[in-house]
Amino acid sequence: MGLSEAIRALAARLAGGPRPEREPAGVTVPEADHNLRELQRKLGHTFADVTLLRNALLHRSHIHVTGQEREQSNERLEFLGDAVLGLVVNEILYDHYPDRSEGDLTKMKSLLVCGARLSEVAMDFDLGIHIRMSRSEAATGGRRRSSILADTTEAIIGAVYLDGGLPAARTVIERVILSGSDRVLSRRSLRNYKSRLQEMIQSRYKTPPRYKVLEVDGPDHDRLFRVAVTHGGTVLGVGDGRNKKTAEQAAAREALDRLEREPELLDGGQE
């Protein structure tokens, strides 16, 4: 058995365990979870193994309440989906923009697959109502929480890949994620580097990055600010600007570029 077949078999086994006849107290299962045909129609993919889709919709809060192993949540599929999404979007951008530099393509990809964009996509097709989560998570707004929606979107992409391979995943990504990509790439709100960096870090660590002025040079009428952005004591980026705000944006932009290449920078700790 090859690696691809082994991965699919493992995912199917994790997703296909016996289900209780009734949900335990403290767990909420939306009615839509029992009929996923509409969700599959919106995705443009009909699952041969629908247990993969159900697994992609299984939030860790549900696992905690039911006493199941954490590996049965959608986090593993999220890990896989993130890689598949990155590969497909990189390939499409590479083919469609032959005159763009590596730096430009990296920035375009960041706009198209950032957490804010993925959660926006999820909201568009009401993904939140399908997610299985604990009652307490749902009661505190979990079905509309940006990080949960973005993570679940990636998990679904991972599930589609295991169910139908890379061609199926590409079809779903083009239909769902890249639909209206020209409009997305031109939106100034997604070009706010500070907001994008904060959303990325807070979705993972619940604490924001910090900005520190390193140096101010030049006369009062022509000053140049140098600012560093850090998290957990790690410098993620440094930027220059004619005012503090511009320098902070430049630092955040450098941080996003570095994290695209070196995601392990965030593993140095948290504040």
Q: Which residues are part of the catalytic machinery?
A: 82, 154
Gap between the Cα atoms of 123 and 158, Å rounded: 19
Q: What share of the chain is helix, strand, coil (3-state, %, to 5)?
A: 65, 10, 25
Element holding 172 (H helix, E strand): helix 146-172
Q: Would residue 180 be called left, alpha or beta, if left means φ above 0 and alpha means ψ between -120 and 50 degrees?
A: left
Gap between the Cα atoms of 265 and 78, Å rounded: 20
Gap between the Cα atoms of 29 and 175, Å rounded: 27
Element holding 133 (H helix, E strand): strand 133-134
Chain-centroid distance of CA 100 in Å reads 24
For 16, the token pair is 């296909």
Cα four-point dihedral sign 132, 137, 142, 147: negative
- Alpha carbon distance, N-terminus to C-terminus of the chain: 45
Gap between the Cα atoms of 144 and 140, Å rounded: 9
Which residue do the tokens 């919709």 mark? 57
